[in-house]
């Protein structure tokens, strides 16, 4: 595992990258939210991430779990609506996975714990037209790429980002069953989900930062084969086939 000071630097860089991306997209996110929600997602997340940047800059803390928890707690304090508890509360709760520091295995554990908390808190599952639709494919693809395909973390993260993008696209043609958009019923069909979209932006920003800290090739195609032919034949799985 790399030194705590490098872990802190990477967390700080990731926080800045996410904050900048959300700032750049805040008007678009609010546009998406005004179609099927309460038109505050962009502004809310932007305010939250600005506060996170300040909180991280103001602390000398180097322990990665404590830093990530601070990110979550700050989002909970600053972001209203459902985004505060969903983003902030889930980050707070998953941060304990970094108790021993950030390495490949703990990032998989964090991703799984984060997804589980978002699902539990929001009561949403795949297909409800929520952030879960972007998060689930991303987390599943990341875990499988690391644990079964033994891809380097950077390659796994790139595939996860592509998986999230497919998840965001999936939210457009389906009817919302959770969140504010569900009150619109059939009128929600045809609109892209703002929470799934902001989830994708966060992941893309994190991937940008990861390329500076991790070695490896980027292949942003979640559907490209990752299992070598012989192992695919050995376990008889159809993965990698079109």
Partner 1 sequence: MIALVVVSHSEQAANGVAEVATEMGGDARIVPVGGDPDGGIGTSAPEIEDAILDAVEGPDGETADGIVVLVDLGSAVMNAELAIEMLEEDLEVVIADAPILEGTLNAAVSASSPKATLDEVLQRAEEARDYRKLD
- The reply on whether position 80 binds partner 1 by CB under 8 A is yes
Question: What is the 3-state composition of the chain as percent helix, strand, coil, each rounded to the nearest 5?
Answer: 70, 0, 30
Interface residue with partner 1, options 36, 68, 70, 78 (CB under 8 A): 78
- The reply on whether position 175 binds partner 1 by CB under 8 A is no
What is the nearest approach in angstroms of partner 1 to the Cβ of residue 219? 36
* Alpha-carbon distances of 159 from 27, 129, 155, 184, rounded to whole Å: 27, 21, 6, 33
Interface residue with partner 1, options 40, 133, 149, 165 (CB under 8 A): 40
- The reply on whether position 49 binds partner 1 by CB under 8 A is no
- The reply on whether position 25 binds partner 1 by CB under 8 A is no
- The reply on whether position 50 binds partner 1 by CB under 8 A is no
- The reply on whether position 220 binds partner 1 by CB under 8 A is no
Interface residue with partner 1, options 64, 137, 179, 194 (CB under 8 A): 179
What is the nearest approach in angstroms of partner 1 to the Cβ of residue 23? 17
Q: Scan for tokens 């959300």, then name that residue.
A: 22
Stretch of residues binding partner 1 (CB under 8 A), selected from 62-70, 73-81, 198-206, 219-227? 73-81
- In the complex with partner 1, which residue's Cβ is closer, 45 or 205? 45
- The reply on whether position 91 binds partner 1 by CB under 8 A is no
Structural tokens at position 115: 């997804």
- The reply on whether position 33 binds partner 1 by CB under 8 A is no
Please check whether residue 37 is in contact with residue 180, taking contact to mean a CB–CB distance below 8 angstroms.
yes
* 125/106 Cα distance (integer angstroms): 24
* 167/127 Cα distance (integer angstroms): 9
* 178/170 Cα distance (integer angstroms): 15
Between CA 48 and CA 98, with CA 167 as vertex, the angle to 5 degrees is 50
Total number of residues that touch partner 1 (CB under 8 A)? 21
Please check whether residue 130 is in contact with residue 178, taking contact to mean a CB–CB distance below 8 angstroms.
yes
What is the nearest approach in angstroms of partner 1 to the Cβ of residue 70? 14
- In the complex with partner 1, which residue's Cβ is closer, 169 or 184? 184
Structural element, H or E, at residue 100: none
Interface residue with partner 1, options 7, 29, 32, 84 (CB under 8 A): 84
Please check whether residue 80 is in contact with residue 40, taking contact to mean a CB–CB distance below 8 angstroms.
yes
* 68/59 Cα distance (integer angstroms): 12
What is the nearest approach in angstroms of partner 1 to the Cβ of residue 25? 19
* 241/76 Cα distance (integer angstroms): 43
User: Contact positions toward partner 1, by CB under 8 A?
Assistant: 38, 40, 44, 47, 76-82, 84-86, 88-89, 93, 121-122, 179-180
């Amino acid at each position: 595992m790399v030194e705590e000071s490098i872990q802190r630097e990477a967390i700080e860089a990731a926080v800045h990258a996410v904050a900048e991306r959300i700032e750049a997209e805040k008007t678009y996110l609010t546009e998406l939210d005004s179609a099927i929600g309460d038109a505050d997602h962009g502004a809310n997340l932007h305010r939250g991430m600005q506060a996170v940047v300040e909180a991280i800059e103001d602390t000398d803390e180097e322990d990665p779990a404590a830093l990530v928890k601070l990110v979550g707690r700050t989002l909970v304090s600053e972001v209203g609506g459902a985004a505060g508890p969903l983003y902030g509360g889930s980050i707070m709760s998953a941060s304990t996975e970094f108790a021993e520091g950030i390495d490949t295995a703990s990032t998989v554990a964090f991703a799984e714990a984060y997804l589980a908390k978002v699902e539990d808190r929001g009561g949403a599952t795949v297909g409800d037209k929520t952030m879960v639709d972007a998060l689930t494919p991303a987390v599943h693809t990341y875990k499988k790429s690391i644990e079964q395909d033994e891809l380097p973390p950077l390659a796994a993260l790139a595939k996860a980002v592509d998986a999230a993008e497919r998840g965001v696209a999936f939210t457009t043609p389906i009817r919302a069953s959770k969140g504010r958009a569900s009150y619109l019923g059939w009128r929600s069909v045809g609109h892209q989900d703002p929470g799934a979209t902001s989830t994708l932006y966060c992941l893309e920003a994190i991937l940008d930062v990861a390329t500076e800290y991790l070695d490896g090739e980027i292949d942003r195609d979640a559907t490209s084969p990752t299992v070598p032919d012989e192992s695919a034949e050995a376990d008889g799985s159809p993965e990698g086939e079109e």
